[in-house]
Chains A and B, each alone.
Chain A
Amino acid sequence: MIRHPLAWGVWAIAVLAAAFIDRNPYLQALLVLVVVNVFLPYRARRRVGTWKFAVALALVPVLFSVALSRFGQHVLFTLPAIPIIGGRWTFDAVAFGASTGLALLLTVAVFAVVQSTVRSADVVAILPRPLYRAGTTLALALAFAPKTLTAFQSIREARQLRGQRTGWRSAPALLLPLLLTTLERALQYGESLDARGFGSGRRSRYRPLHWSAQDRLVLLTSLAAIVAIAIVPSVPYNPYLELVPRVPNPDQLVAVGLLAVPAVTASLSRVDHAPHHA
C-alpha cells in the first residue's frame, strides 16, 4: 500500500489541479470516479458525514449561481421583479454552479482520501528539523478538535440517558464537563510528550519511513499528470459561452488515468483485505 505522505501530497495536488484548471463536466465526472476508486481500498470506516458535507458543499454554488446570475441563453423560467432573485433563471447558471460545486466536492473528497491514507505522525516525521516542534504542535491541535467534538457528544448522550435536558438552555451544564475533559486531555498530552522526550534532542524512529516502489510510482505518475495538465492546451469550460461541454482530448484522459494509479496498485496488490466469511 502507498504510505509516504509526499506521494499522497503530490497526488492530491495533481487531482486538484485537474479539477480546477479545466472544469469540464466530463473530466470532473472522471475525476470523481478516480477519487472514489482511490478511496475505496483505503477506507477505514464509513465516512458518511464527510460525503454529506461534500454533497452539501457542491449544492450551495448551484443555488447561488441560479438564483443570482441573470446571464445565459437557456431560460428555465422568469420570476417577477423581486429584488435580488427576480428575473431570468437560466440553465447556463445551473451548469456554471454545478461545475463549481463539483470542483468543491472534489476538493473535500481529495482531502478525505488524504486523511484516510496519511498518518499525521508520518507527516511530522518528514518535516524539516526546524519545523518539527511547530508541526507536532499543529498536528496535536488539529487532532484536538475532533476529540473535543466526540467528548461533547459523549457528555450530551450521558445527560440524555439520565433524562436531563440537552438543548441550548443546558449549555452551561454541558460546557463545564467539556472544559474539564479537555483540560484533562491536554495534561495527558503534555505528560505523553514529556515521557517521550519531546524537544530534548535528536529524534529517532523505530520504523523509519522508506520510499516503496508503489510510493515512487504514484509520485512519478502524479508529477507526469501535473505536467500534462499544465502543458496540454485546453479551453476552460464556460457554460455561458457554450452550454454543452466538449469531449476531453486524449491527452487529458491520459492525465486523469495517471491519477488512478493508487487505485490500480491497490487492486493489483496480492494482499487480500476482504473479510473472511468462512
Chain B
Amino acid sequence: MWLGAAAVAALIAACLSIRPAHAAIHHAALVIQHASGSVITRCVAFAEDQISGLQLVERSGVQYEAQDFGSIGSAMCQLDREPSTVPAGCFGAGPYWQYFHRRGSAWQTSALGASSSLLRDGDMDGWHFAAGTNQAPGNIAFSSVCAAPAPPAGTATQAAPAANHATPIPTATPAPSPSLEALVPSTSPPPKAVLTSTGPPTQPPQATALGPWLALGSTAILLLTLGAVNLRRRGP
C-alpha cells in the first residue's frame, strides 16, 4: 500500500518539476503582397508557444482592419492601407485579402480566419490582395524573412516597430478618407504590445521533449496498474 502511495507521490512530484520552456523566443514570418505586386515582410518574435495569425499581423505593426465572423474567425478587410477604404461587408466585390500558410515550399490556402489559425516557431503566413481564388503570394522562404544577421542577445525590443525586409510599402495607395476612418476605429495595437525582432531565431529553444512523454506514459502505466488491481475486486 505504502509503495503505491509513494509511487503516486513521486509521479506528482516529477510532473510538477517538469515545466515547459515558456521563456524562449520564437519567430514567425509575415508576407504581405499588394495588388500592385509590391511585397512587405516582417519577422515577428513572440514569447508564447504559439500565436494566432491575427496576433502576428498585430505585432508586426502593419495597419489592418479585421472583421469577426464568429467561429470561422476574423477576416482581413484592410491591410497596410489597401484597399484605401474598408468595403461594406468587409470583402467588397473586387479583390480581397487572401490568406495563406506556408507549408514546406508552397503556399496553402488557410481553412480558417486569421484569429483562429495558429503559428508556432518557424511558421510563415502570407496575405495577397487579389481577385479570384487561390492567388498565393510570391515564393518567399522563411529564411529570407527572418535571416538578417543575428543581433546580440537581448536586442528583441519591446515597443519597436517590425523591420521591413523587402519592397517598401507602396506609396501609390491613396490614404483612406477621414470620414471612414472615424467610423471604423483602428484595431492596430498600442506600441507596447509589439514584441518584434529583426534577426533570425536566436538559438531555437531545445525543449526537453522526453519529459512530458515520460510523465504521460507513467500516468498511463499507473492507471493501468490500478485498473488491474481493481479488476480483481468485485463491486459491493
Contacts and interface: CB of A to CB of B under 8 A. Distances in A.
Contact of A71 (B111, B209, B233): B111
Q: Which of B18, B19, B233, B234 has the most CB of A within 10 A?
A: B233
Interface in A90-121: 116
B223 interface: yes
Interface in B38-82: 49-50
Dominant SS among interface residues on chain B: helix
A257 B12 contact: yes
B212 A254 contact: no
Interface string A248-278: 1111011011001001101110001111000
A36 B229 CA distance: 12
B212 A33 contact: no
A72 interface: yes
Given A37-B227, A250-B14, A264-B226, 14 more contacts: A26-B216, A30-B216, A30-B220, A30-B223, A33-B227, A40-B235, A41-B230, A41-B235, A73-B103, A73-B108, A241-B116, A248-B212, A250-B15, A268-B1
Interface in B116-170: 116-118
A256 B227 contact: no
Interface in A154-183: none
B223 A247 contact: no
A132 interface: no
B183 interface: no
B112 interface: yes
Chain B: number of interface residues, binned into ranges: 35 or more
Q: Which 10 A-B pairs have the closest CB atoms?
A: A250-B15, A40-B230, A247-B212, A33-B223, A43-B235, A267-B229, A273-B234, A41-B230, A250-B18, A37-B227
Contact of B213 (A34, A71, A72, A247): A247
A72 B226 CA distance: 38
B236 A33 contact: no
B235 A247 contact: no
Contact of B215 (A36, A240, A253): A253
Contacts of A73: 103, 108, 111
Interface of A: 1, 26, 29-30, 33-34, 36-37, 40-45, 71-73, 116, 235, 240-242, 247-251, 253-254, 256-257, 260, 263-264, 266-268, 272-275
Interface string B192-231: 0000000000000000010011011001101110110111
